[in-house]
Amino acid sequence: MSARTPVPAPPPSPISAGRGIAFRLSALVLSVVGLIFVAMSAATYFMAREALLKNAEQNARTQAQALVQRIEARLAPISRVPLGLAYELGDDGLSDEGILRRQRQMLLDNPEIFGTAAAYEPFGRHPQQEFFAPYTFRAPLGITHINLGGPGYRYHAMDWYQIPRELGQTIWSEPYFDEGGGNTLMATCSVPFYQGQGAGHGEGRHVAGVVTADVSLDWLKRLVSSVNVLETGYAWLITRNGTYVTHPEPGVAFNETIFSRAEEAGDLDLRRIGQDMVRGGSKLVETKSLHTGKPGFLVYAPLPSTGWSLGVFSPRDELLADVNRLALVSAGLGGGGFLLLAALTAVIARGITRPLRRLCLAAREVAGGRLDAPLPEVASRDEVFELAEAFAHMQESLKEHIRDLTLATATRERIQSELRIASEIQLGILPKTFPPLPRHAEFDLFASLTPAREVGGDFYDFFPCGPDCFCFLIGDVSGKGVPAAFYMAVSRTLIKAVAESVAGAGQRRGADRHHSPLEAANLGEIQRRIPNPGHILARANNGLAEDNESCMFVTVFCAVLDFASGEVHYASAGHNPPVLLRAGARPEYLPTHGDPVAGAMTGIAFTTDTLTLNPGDALALYTDGVTEAMNPVQELYGEARLLEHLAEHDGLDVRAACQALAADVHAFASGAEQSDDITMLVLRYNGPSTANGPDTANGAATDNSSTDDSTTENRTRPGPDTT
């Protein structure tokens, strides 16, 4: 970064003594101070009254919100605890003893929870047992277990079970006395859990039961009753149905609702307040307390996790008790302050403006580019001293900022340059010769890759793998950025090396043997068979999984084409299924077997399938960057849209097919940011060619009869290849 060119400072403007800050400040203060004193005496009472009321309202809001947060801090985490057990029960992976152990651990980890139950549907856990609801709770002698349910306690009809079961969501129950479980006053957080196959209820999954977390309300009553609101103010709590959970008046809590008290007192305002509270409203209103009979301010706010509502009442007369005394004190201070202010104004004004003028001159020098300009010394420890220190700090910050900016700019430019070079290297290692084997007219192939970032994790490859055999593949590495790019390069290189090794090993074994003419002819036919892609992926997987501390993986679709017969052997390591384009037929997805991804663990076997391409048939390979491309409204391109596009553009050559699909994906995105690499490969089989003999560049036909490198059936399940 070049040296900073000093900016000429603006010339100082002369200030006459009569128009300076000191003169104007003194004149203004002394001319209006009398009017201020008169007006202050008359307005003190009203201003103090309004200010005190506003401050009291704000304090009431703050106090209510603080109490809500304290309650939420204990209730909100509780609703997440039964969700964990519900997920585990949904997988049906816990035994009866496992459920009890899990419940016990929940209580040990969460002291706020009194007890927890896992209540199943009738006969849902054991065919011969209608009620199965293990309940673990805190007893005087420690944590113990019981089984809820029976003729005297049919929990299936209880609100804590029925409501979350029907609504399919987390529900807090009304406070109740739990006679069947903990025998204490509590509220229950209930969460339904599901079992079966499918995405949700009605799609193969069904409600299997309800997980609960019981919370004793003793701590809640103590917390609310401990709130001090002036001398006679108080706080109270109601449920989402209006039932009082806490109230300072004896016998009200859990016995009355806000609506029953409003009806009894004929208080329409209280009824409207109750209606807004149960709807989750939050407001400050003026009302009259039924408990003390005093007018005041009521602040109420909801508890988000339970749907309950908290109210805090502040008496009005206690808020205004000091207003008169405050008005008298203000009047006295105002009269004395007038005399003192008149005497000190001139002195203070000049004392303040003198260092300010010196700071102004120094600031002009700094603005002109002289960052080391000396600042004036300020003896007083006031705002002017702080301003001088702020100027000094500003000087150091500006110099440090310029140094950091220079370094950051150089570093950012270096990183961008390195990323551009890495992108060019990554794209440079992918084959770009189309058609790949110009002397072979039996097939045509084209591929393209559009990275989402400078470097990415998608790749494709194609190469000869024996006489009349051609291997082509596509892959997608987990993650993005530089790590994915490195893993992509390793994966592509390893798969290609393994494929060439498998093909070469089969040819060498055939060349080292001596056969009769008939055997040689059969052997030549066997060697025309395709090397086993399942073995290739198995060996490549073992190499990728070794020392894979980063736990990265790659999805791969690998296939090998026999030029002469059109036979294709293929295997998939967790990759998207390719699209088979039969000439004159609707496109369809090629069936795969859901084999796992490569690189996750060693010793995985991959299934090899076989299909025969007729002249004019094609295979379209792609990564999930195509089907998962999104438009600005978060809609996916999708597999159905891919089939529809390929059907509409049937008959295009491979290059035009790739370009048309890429254009359609970008048009669908409508300018939305590309979130993943978009990679495509299209191969079309043209039929056997009599004009071209075997590719002599790959050697003469050799023995390839080993079961590691050829497939004699339409589907094989090889073990890990040790060739």
Cα 391 from chain centroid (whole Å): 43
Do the beta carbons of residue 298 and residue 311 sit within 8 Å? yes
253 phi/psi in degrees, rounded to 5: -60, 130
Q: What is the 3-state secondary structure (H, E, C) of 205-268?
A: EEEEEEEEEEEECHHHHHHHHCCCECCCEEEEEECCCCEEEECCCCCCCCCCEHHHHHHHHCCH
In 60-93, which positions are buried (b, 16+ CB within 10 angstroms) versus exposed (e)? Answer: bbebbeebbeebbeebeebbebbeebbebbbeee
Tokens of 10: 């603006």
Mean pLDDT calculated for residue range 113-121: 90
Q: What one-letter code names the amino acid at 578? A: P
Do the beta carbons of residue 300 and residue 311 sit within 8 Å? yes
CA distance 299 to 301: 7
Q: What is the pLDDT of residue 291?
A: 81
CA distance 329 to 323: 10
Domain ranges of the chain: 91-216, 437-700
Arch. (CATH architecture) of 91-216:
2-Layer Sandwich (3.30)
Q: Provide, for the chain, the percentages of residues in helix, strand and coil under a 3-state DSSP scheme, each rounded to the nearest 5.
A: 45, 20, 35
Do the beta carbons of residue 513 and residue 703 sit within 8 Å? yes
User: 437-700 maps to which CATH number?
Assistant: 3.60.40.10
Do the beta carbons of residue 303 and residue 69 sit within 8 Å? no
Residue 468, sorted as left (phi over 0), alpha (psi -120 to 50) or beta, turns out to be left
Give 34-80 pLDDT, tens digit per residue.
777 777 767 776 776 777 777 777 777 787 788 888 887 877 788 88
Cis peptide before 302 (omega within 30 of 0): no
Mean pLDDT calculated for residue range 128-143: 89
Q: How many residues make up the chain in this entry? A: 723
Tokens of 109: 């980890």
pTM of the model: 0.45
Q: 202 pLDDT band (50/70/90 cuts)?
A: low
- With tokens 């048309």, the residue in question is 660
Q: 570 pLDDT band (50/70/90 cuts)?
A: very high
CA distances from 29 to 39, 104, 336, 357, 521 (A): 15, 74, 15, 21, 117
- With tokens 């293929």, the residue in question is 570
Q: Give the residue among 67, 72, 65 at the shortest CA–CA distance from 215.
A: 72
DSSP structure string for 513-553 = S---HHHHHHHHHHHTSPP-HHHHHHHHHHHHHTT-TT---
Residue 475 predicted with pLDDT over 90: yes
CA distance 356 to 352: 7
Do the beta carbons of residue 67 and residue 302 sit within 8 Å? no
Give 622-669 pLDDT, tens digit per residue.
999 899 999 999 899 999 999 999 999 888 999 999 999 999 999 998
Q: What is the pLDDT of residue 179?
A: 62
Residue 285 predicted with pLDDT over 50: yes
Q: What is the pLDDT of residue 720?
A: 42
Give 479-493 pLDDT, tens digit per residue.
877 888 888 888 999
In 409-428, which positions are buried (b, 16+ CB within 10 angstroms) versus exposed (e)? Answer: eeeeeeeeeebeeebeebee
Cα 182 from chain centroid (whole Å): 38
Q: Give the residue among 256, 330, 619, 339 at the shortest CA–CA distance from 470.
A: 619
More confident residue, 371 or 260: 260
Residue 508 predicted with pLDDT over 80: no
**Cβ neighbours of 713 (radius 10 Å):** 8
CA distance 382 to 371: 24
Could you give the 3-state DSSP secondary structure of residue 2? coil
